[in-house]
Homo-oligomer: A and B are copies of this chain.
Amino acid sequence: MGQELFQIVESPIETETVINKVKGREMGAITTFIGTVREYTNGKRTIYLAYQAYTSMAEKMLAQIGGEIQEKWPGTHVAITHRVGALEISDIAVVIAVSSPHRKAAYQANEYAIERIKQIVPIWKKEHWDDGEAWLGDQLEQKAYPNGKPEIEGGGL
């Protein structure tokens, strides 16, 4: 491909660049998910976020998610870029692009990707507020891994 489909980067993400990685003449639908830094979470105002990753493993896990998707939705193409470092409000943290001959798979596979990112990709977020800061536990509202481990194998939908 000459392009990295699954990347952790430190610079701003250009949505168009991620989309271009999955384009193809056989595709009729491309879905993208753009995760941005929200100002208020549960009524609390975020000043900025800091993302940290175990980069090499994170890219491997993103690629694993891509593999899971191609198995579940044959014919789809996936590219994911996640940014790390300090991000301000409205900055893009992650872009997921999925192309597919038909739209249904493009939506399903895209949503699957973000759910899996929140399960298995070693990236952590530290929220900085007016009055303090904290590393967030996972956003699936779990204090720890439900079965003592993340769902490594990628269960059904």
Q: Which of A113-149 contact B (CB under 8 A)?
A: 114
Complex partner residue of A36 from B29, B36, B107, B114, CB under 8 angstroms: B29
Q: Which of A20-61 contact B (CB under 8 A)?
A: 23-41
A interface secondary structure, majority: mixed
Judged by a CB distance under 8 angstroms, whether A68 is at the interface is no
Neighbouring B residues of A64 by C-beta, 8 Å:
none
A119 to chain B, nearest CB (A): 14
Complex partner residue of A34 from B24, B32, B36, B38, CB under 8 angstroms: B32
CA distance A90 to B24 in the complex (A): 7
**Chain B residue, CB-CB nearest to A103:** B114
